[in-house]
Chains A and B, each alone.
Chain A
Amino acid sequence: MVMFILLSGLTKFPKEALEQTAAGQEPSIIMADAGWDSIRIHNAIAAFIIERGYGYQTDVIMGSTPIVTQGLILGDIDLCMEVWTDNVLELYQAGIESGEIIDLGVNFDDNAQGLYVPTYLIKGDQTRGIEPLVPNLQSIKDLPKYWEVFRDPDHPSQGRIYGAPPTWGADEILRTKMKTYNLDERYDYFNPGTDTALNTALVSAYERGEPWLGYYWDPTWITGKYDLTLLEDEPYDPEKWNAGYACEFPGVKVTVAVHKSMLERAPDVVEFLRDYRTSTKITSELLAFMQDHEADIQLTAAWFLREYEELWTDWVPPEVAAQVQREVETDAGPPRTSLTEFPPGLRIQLGVYVEHVINWLTDNFQTFFDWLKAGVNGLVAGIRGFLSFIPWFLLLLFIFLLGWKVNNWQAGLMYALMTFLIGALGLWVEMILTLAIVLTGVLISIVLGIPLGIYMAYSHKAEALMKPLLDGAQTMPSFVYLIPAMIFFGLGTVPAVFATIIYSMPPCIRLTNLGIRRVPTAMKEAAYSFGSSAWQVLTKVELPLALPTIMAGINQTTMSAMSMVVIASMIGAKGLGENVLIAINRTDIAMGFDSGISIVFLAIIIDRLTQQISKQEE
C-alpha cells in the first residue's frame, strides 16, 4: 500500500507542481468566484466556451460578494457570471455609474427566496420514518399557529425563524415582513451571522429530520439536494411590497457583468456573454446534477453543454459553437479550476472617511502599490517555483535531515511523515502554495520587523508611538487586515501576503525591541568603554544577546503568518486555506479534516523547527 502511494506520488506531485509554474504566461480572463456553487457552474460553462471556443485563458479568483464586486470595479476581476444585484446594490450601481462595470444583462431572474421549511414537515418522509408534523402548513400566514413546532431553544416561549445573513438585503425585508404579518408576536428572528452558519443550521436540522424554519433562496445546491418547501405568500405586487413587504419576494435580477477593459480585450467574449442567459430551473438542475456527481463542476459543465446544446449554441457564432461541440465530445476533462467557497455574509462596511483616505492613497500611490505588487508577486513566484522544482521525495528528505539536525532523528522522521501525509491527502500543491506565501510573508516581516524593533529599542519616542500600534495590531481580529490588503492590492496572492505581513510582523518587532532593551546597560557600557562604535555595539553585543528573544519573535511571526494565510484565502490566497473555506461552506467534514489536518501538520513542523532554533541560541 505504502509502495503504491509512493509510486503514484512520484509521478503525481511534480507534474502538478510544473503545471502550477507554467500557468499564467499571458493575462487570463479572471472570473469571480463569489463562493456558492451555481456561480462556479456558470463559471465552468463560460470558461469552457471562452477557452475552447475563443482561445482565451481563464482563471478564477475567490472572494465574498462585495469583495468580488469591488474586484470587478478595480479591474482585478474581469468577469462575474452571477451578480445578485439586490445584495450588492449600492456598490454595483456605483460601479456601473462610474463606467468600471459593464452590465451584460440577466443570467437568470426567476429565482425565489423567502421562508422555507423541509418538506418532510408537511408530507412526512416514509423512508426515514418521519411523520408529518405540520401537514396543513402552506402559507406564511399559517405560521402563528405552529410556533411551538419551531420552538426557539434560547427563548422557549417563542418560535424561531432563521433570518438572512445580516448584510443581505433580505435581512431588513424579513424583519419588516415579520412585523407586517405579526409574526413577531410568536417568533424570534434569529440572525445566523453568515450564510455559512445558515447552511449549517439547515443541513444539520435536515439530516436529523428536525423542524426548521427560515430564510433561504433558490437556486442553491441545498435547494437542489434537499427537499424544501417555500411557504406561500401573496403574489408579488409592488404596492403591497412597498407597504411592509406584504407579499412574496420579487425575483432577484442575477446579471452577468464584466470590467470595462473586457470591451477592448475580448469584444467577442463580451458579445457571447451578452447572450448568456439561463434560468433558475436550469441552474437548479445543474446544482442537483453536481451534488449527485461528487461536486464535480467540470462534469456538470460538460453535461450542460451536451444537454442544452440548443440553448448555448445560440449564444455564440456557428464556428465557435462547432469548435466547442468538438471539444465537448473529445474532452477528457477540462483543466481544473479552483474550487473555492467564501462566506458571502462577511460583508465589509467601510467608513466614508476611511474610504476617502484609501481613495486618495490609491489615486496618488498607485505606481508605488503596483511596484510593490510586482515585487511581492515575484518573490512568491520565485519561492513557489523553487519549492515546486524540488522533487517531492527530496523535499521530504530535506525536512527529515533538517528535523534531525535541529531536534533529533525521531523528530525528523515525524516531520517527514507528516509532510508525506499532506501529499498523500492530495494537498501537496496546496501545501507548496501555502508555504510560499508564508515564507514570503515571514521573510518580509523579518526584513522589516527587526530593523523596526531595533529602532524602537533605541528611541523612546518610537516605542511610545509603536507600542499602541502593535497592541492594536495584535488585538485586532485578523480578518480586518484583509480590507486594506484588498483595497491596495486587489484580490489574489499579493494582498494575502500583505495581510500576512501586517498580522505577523508585530511579534517580530516587539520581541526584537524587548530583546535589545533587555541587554544590560553594563554590557553596552563595557562595549563602549573599549571604544566600540554604535554599530559594533549593536552587532557584537546587542543583537547576539537579544538573539534568543528575537528567534522567539520569529517563531511567533511564523505561526501568525501560518494562521493568517489560512484566513487570507478569503481574498484569494490559494493553498490549504482555500480548501478549508470550501469545506466550511459545504459543511464537508471529510474535506475540512483533510485540509485542516494538513495545516496542523505544517504548523507543527514550522513551529518545532523555529522554536528549537530559538532554544538552541539560548
Chain B
Amino acid sequence: MKGGDEMAEKIVVKNVTKVFGPRPKLAFEKLKQGWSKKQILEKTGQTIGVNQVSFSINEGEFFVIIGLSGSGKSTLIRCFNLLNRPTTGEILVDGENIIQYEPGQLRKFRQEKMAMVFQQFALFPHRTVLGNVEYGLEIKGVKKGERQEIALKAIAEVGLKGWEDQKPQQLSGGMQQRVGLARALANDPDILLMDEPFSALDPLIRREMQSELLDLQSKLRKTVVFITHDINEAFKLGDRVAVMRGGSIVQIGTPEEILNHPSDAYIEDFVQGIDRTKIVQAKDIMQRPDVVVSLKDGVRVAIKEMEMNGISSIFVVDKERKLQGIVTIDDAVQAAEVGRPLREILKDDYFTTTEDTYIQDLIDLGVKTRYPIVVINEDQKVLGLIVRSSILAGLLRRGKQEE
C-alpha cells in the first residue's frame, strides 16, 4: 500500500455482509458454515450481495471499486450511506459505526458527511438545475439566499454557469451528470460516493469528465469512493483500486500493483483487456539513472562508465543532476586522444519525457531514437531512463516476466 500508514483512516469496513432476501440472518449463518453463494441461493432463495468484506479507505484517497455486474460493487457502495443496510458487520466512518445510528443520526450523517452521485443521474425533473443543486442544503435547512449562493458556486465549479434555470432534461447526459456532481459537492461532504457516474456517458464525454474530476479532486481532496466496471477508468482515477468478484474483494492495491502482480487468474484475465499503453506511464518502466556522468567528471570517467556498463552512450548532468547532453563512446575516445573537454562533445539528438507520460506516447520516440529516452522533471533534473526494450516490455505483463 502506498503511504497508507501516514494517512488517517476515513472509512473502515469490518466484515460487512449484505444478504437480499426475507431471512438474511439465516443465510448469513449458512454462509459462516461454509455454504457457497450458489447453495444458499438454491436452498434458501436468498442472494448474497456482499460477502464478509473488510478494508479501509484513507482520508483524501480516491478509492475505486471495480467489478463486473453482479459482483456486489454497487451493493457495497450503497452500504456506505445505508441505502443498503448491511446484514452484519461494521462500517466505521471517522471511528463511528454508522450502522448503529438512530434515524435522526443517520439523516444528519447523510446531510453532513456523505453525498452520492448516481449512475442514471437521478436528478429531480421538477426542479431546475439550481433547485437540484440546492436540494441537499434545503434538506439541511440552509436559508434560501445562502444556499443559492453555495449552489451557484458549485454549478460554476462543474462548468455549468448560465444553465442554472434550465430543467435537467433539457441538458445533455454529460451536463446532467455535472449537475449530479454539483449537487453532491454543494453539500461539501467529507466523502463523495460515486456509483458508476460516467457509465451512461459516451466515451469522449466520459474521458473529459474523468479528467475534470481529477482536477477537481486535486483541489478539493475529498475522500472519494468510485464504482466502475471499466478497468481503464479505474486505473486512471484510482489512488487504490479494489477488485470485487462474487461479493468479495479479491485484491486491493494501486493500479500498478494490480497490473503487475495480479493476485489470481481472475484478475489477470480482468486486467488483460486493459490497454496498457494508456495505463503504464514513463515512471513505471524507467530505470534508475545510475549510469550518468557529471560534467566535472570528464571524458575519461565517461568512457570508463560506458565500458563498465557495456553501453555505447551516456547522459551527462551537472552537479544538480540537471541534464546537459549525451556523449557517445566514439566521440569520447576521440576527445580523450586530442584532450577536448567533455562539454565540447555533448550531443542533443535524444528525446526527453516526463514521468507521467503514458507509454502510448513513448512508442513513437522509442522507434525514432538511437539513445534511451530521458525522464526529467520541470527543472530538467534526470529522474530515470527508458530503454527501447522496456517500452516493449511495459506493454506485456512485466510482473510475470520478472518472476
On whether A529 and B135 interact (CB within 8 A), knowing A523-B122, A541-B124, A544-B126, the answer reads no
Q: Are A523 and B110 in contact (CB under 8 A)?
A: no
CB proximity of B117 to chain A, nearest CB, Å:
9
Bound-state Cα–Cα, A531 to B111, Å: 5
Interface size class of B (residues with CB under 8 A): 20 to 34
B123 (CB) vs chain A CBs: closest residue:
A526
CB proximity of B195 to chain A, nearest CB, Å:
10
A520 within 8 A of B: yes
Interface string of B118-144 (1 = CB under 8 A from A): 101011111000000001101110000
Bound-state Cα–Cα, A547 to B136, Å: 22
Q: Are A525 and B122 in contact (CB under 8 A)?
A: yes
A7 within 8 A of B: no
CB proximity of B79 to chain A, nearest CB, Å:
12
CB proximity of B127 to chain A, nearest CB, Å:
8
A4 within 8 A of B: no
Bound-state Cα–Cα, A526 to B110, Å: 11
For B114, list chain A residues within 8 Å (CB).
529
Q: Are A522 and B118 in contact (CB under 8 A)?
A: yes
For B107, list chain A residues within 8 Å (CB).
531-533
Q: Are A526 and B109 in contact (CB under 8 A)?
A: no
A548 (CB) vs chain B CBs: closest residue:
B126
On whether A523 and B124 interact (CB within 8 A), knowing A528-B110, A529-B83, A530-B187, the answer reads yes
B323 within 8 A of A: no
Q: Which of B115, B125, B139, B193 contacts A536 (CB 8 A)?
A: B139
Bound-state Cα–Cα, A211 to B6, Å: 110
For B115, list chain A residues within 8 Å (CB).
529-530
Interface string of B37-79 (1 = CB under 8 A from A): 0000000000000000000000000000000000000000000
Q: Are A525 and B136 in contact (CB under 8 A)?
A: no
For A533, list chain B residues within 8 Å (CB).
107
B319 within 8 A of A: no
A544 (CB) vs chain B CBs: closest residue:
B126
A521 (CB) vs chain B CBs: closest residue:
B122
B347 within 8 A of A: no
A395 within 8 A of B: no
On whether A526 and B187 interact (CB within 8 A), knowing A531-B111, A533-B107, the answer reads no
Q: Are B126 and A531 in contact (CB under 8 A)?
A: no
A522 (CB) vs chain B CBs: closest residue:
B122
For B140, list chain A residues within 8 Å (CB).
531
Bound-state Cα–Cα, A540 to B138, Å: 10
For B111, list chain A residues within 8 Å (CB).
530-531
A545 within 8 A of B: yes
Q: Which of A526, A531, A544, A547 contacts B122 (CB 8 A)?
A: A526
Interface-central residue, A520, A528, A533, by most chain B CB under 10 Å: A528
For B193, list chain A residues within 8 Å (CB).
529
CB proximity of A297 to chain B, nearest CB, Å:
58
For B304, list chain A residues within 8 Å (CB).
none
B138 (CB) vs chain A CBs: closest residue:
A540
On whether A531 and B118 interact (CB within 8 A), knowing A523-B124, A545-B125, A545-B126, the answer reads no
Bound-state Cα–Cα, A530 to B135, Å: 8
A466 within 8 A of B: no
For A525, list chain B residues within 8 Å (CB).
83, 118, 122
A527 within 8 A of B: yes
Interface-central residue, A520, A527, A530, A544, by most chain B CB under 10 Å: A530
B373 within 8 A of A: no
B131 (CB) vs chain A CBs: closest residue:
A540
B108 within 8 A of A: yes
Interface string of B86-108 (1 = CB under 8 A from A): 00000000000000000000111
Bound-state Cα–Cα, A520 to B126, Å: 13
Interface string of A496-539 (1 = CB under 8 A from B): 00000000000000000000000010110111111111001000
Q: Are A529 and B116 in contact (CB under 8 A)?
A: yes
Bound-state Cα–Cα, A273 to B138, Å: 73
CB proximity of B399 to chain A, nearest CB, Å:
39
For A536, list chain B residues within 8 Å (CB).
139
For B106, list chain A residues within 8 Å (CB).
531
CB proximity of A550 to chain B, nearest CB, Å:
13
Q: Are B135 and A527 in contact (CB under 8 A)?
A: yes
For A530, list chain B residues within 8 Å (CB).
110-111, 115, 135-136, 139, 187
CB proximity of B3 to chain A, nearest CB, Å:
30
Interface string of A533-564 (1 = CB under 8 A from B): 10010001100110100000000000000000
CB proximity of A351 to chain B, nearest CB, Å:
41
Bound-state Cα–Cα, A540 to B137, Å: 13
CB proximity of B93 to chain A, nearest CB, Å:
14
Bound-state Cα–Cα, A520 to B118, Å: 13
Q: Which of A522, A531, A540, A541 contacts B110 (CB 8 A)?
A: A531
Bound-state Cα–Cα, A541 to B187, Å: 18
B81 within 8 A of A: yes
A525 (CB) vs chain B CBs: closest residue:
B83
Bound-state Cα–Cα, A530 to B193, Å: 11
B132 (CB) vs chain A CBs: closest residue:
A526
Q: Which of B112, B116, B139 contacts A532 (CB 8 A)?
A: B139
B109 (CB) vs chain A CBs: closest residue:
A531
CB proximity of B223 to chain A, nearest CB, Å:
16
Bound-state Cα–Cα, A541 to B125, Å: 9
Interface-central residue, B112, B123, B124, by most chain A CB under 10 Å: B124
CB proximity of A543 to chain B, nearest CB, Å:
10
Bound-state Cα–Cα, A523 to B118, Å: 10
On whether A531 and B124 interact (CB within 8 A), knowing A526-B116, A526-B118, the answer reads no
CB proximity of B70 to chain A, nearest CB, Å:
19
For B112, list chain A residues within 8 Å (CB).
531
CB proximity of B198 to chain A, nearest CB, Å:
16
B113 (CB) vs chain A CBs: closest residue:
A531
Interface-central residue, A526, A528, A545, A547, by most chain B CB under 10 Å: A526
A537 (CB) vs chain B CBs: closest residue:
B139
Q: Are A522 and B120 in contact (CB under 8 A)?
A: yes
Bound-state Cα–Cα, A545 to B108, Å: 25
B84 (CB) vs chain A CBs: closest residue:
A525
A543 (CB) vs chain B CBs: closest residue:
B126
CB proximity of A525 to chain B, nearest CB, Å:
5
For A541, list chain B residues within 8 Å (CB).
124
For B123, list chain A residues within 8 Å (CB).
526
User: Can you offer 28 A-B residue contacts whose CB atoms are under 8 A?
Assistant: A522-B122, A525-B118, A525-B122, A526-B116, A526-B118, A526-B122, A526-B124, A527-B139, A528-B83, A529-B110, A529-B114, A529-B115, A529-B116, A530-B111, A530-B135, A530-B187, A531-B107, A531-B108, A531-B109, A531-B111, A531-B140, A532-B107, A536-B139, A540-B139, A541-B124, A544-B126, A545-B125, A545-B126
**Interface residues in chain B, defined as those with a beta carbon under 8 Å from any beta carbon in chain A:** 81, 83, 106-112, 114-116, 118, 120, 122-126, 135-136, 138-140, 187, 193
Besides A526-B118, A544-B124, 6 more A-B contacts (Cβ < 8 Å) are A528-B110, A530-B111, A530-B139, A531-B140, A532-B107, A545-B124
**Interface residues in chain A, defined as those with a beta carbon under 8 Å from any beta carbon in chain B:** 520, 522-523, 525-533, 536, 540-541, 544-545, 547
> A-B pairs with the 7 shortest C-beta distances?
A531-B111, A531-B110, A526-B122, A522-B122, A530-B136, A529-B116, A531-B107
